[in-house]
Amino acid sequence: QRPSRPPSTDKRKMILDKITKVLQRGYVVIPSALNYIKSLIDYFEVPKDDDIRLVYNGTSCGLNDALWAPNFYLPTPAAAARVLGYGYYMVDIDLGEMFLNFPLHETLQRFSGVDFSHYSGDFCEDRLIGWVHWTRCWMGLKPSPYMAVRFYYLAEEFARGNRRHDDNALCWDFVKLNLPGDPTYNAPLPRVMK
């Protein structure tokens, strides 16, 4: 629970803007109990063009050393191209603030505290802040990529709907395999077709 470093005077306004943004959106919240937060995460700013990026360092408090995250498959452009055929459609989804779209487990929230006490005087008197904690998967947390992708795939499955309904544009009846070595293999076609 080491306190955070005081901000440099030239970066203070930019850091305050980033802190205000995560507070207003509810990504970090003021804890309900005084002893709720068990561990603090260090943060620092990194220059980014004419702005900064706040980096929350899960390694400084040892949190990432205590967590495990599985490896998981992320498709490459080549893997995506293998499933395309003539007349197929594809979409590229760039989700802004990807990790922050998904909730952080309540157990991890207690260990994902951040010390914003250097900025308490910059908020309204009724909104004095000190220690806050994350409610969303944050950048720098080891399992954040896995948790965000897992939740994303669940949301995508829900959005696709029931594949057996005829009124669903994404419906399909069977899977046809087109694999090398098969006598009916056709190289220009995708290897798996629905």
pTM for the whole thing?
A: 0.70
Strand partners, 177: 192
**Using one digit for the tens of pLDDT, what is the confidence trace for 160-194?**
899 899 899 888 899 999 999 999 999 888 888 88
**Using one digit for the tens of pLDDT, what is the confidence trace for 102-147?**
899 999 999 988 888 877 766 655 555 688 899 999 888 889 889 8
97: left (phi over 0), alpha (psi -120 to 50) or beta: left
Burial class (CB in 10 A: 0-12, 13-18, 19+), 132: buried
Percent of the chain whose predicted confidence (pLDDT) is above 90? 16
H-helix or E-strand spanning residue 47: strand 40-48
Average pLDDT across the chain, whole number:
83
The first and second tokens of residue 98, run together, are 């990807």
pLDDT value at 68 more than 80: yes
Q: Which of 141, 125, 114 is closest to 19 using CA atoms?
A: 114
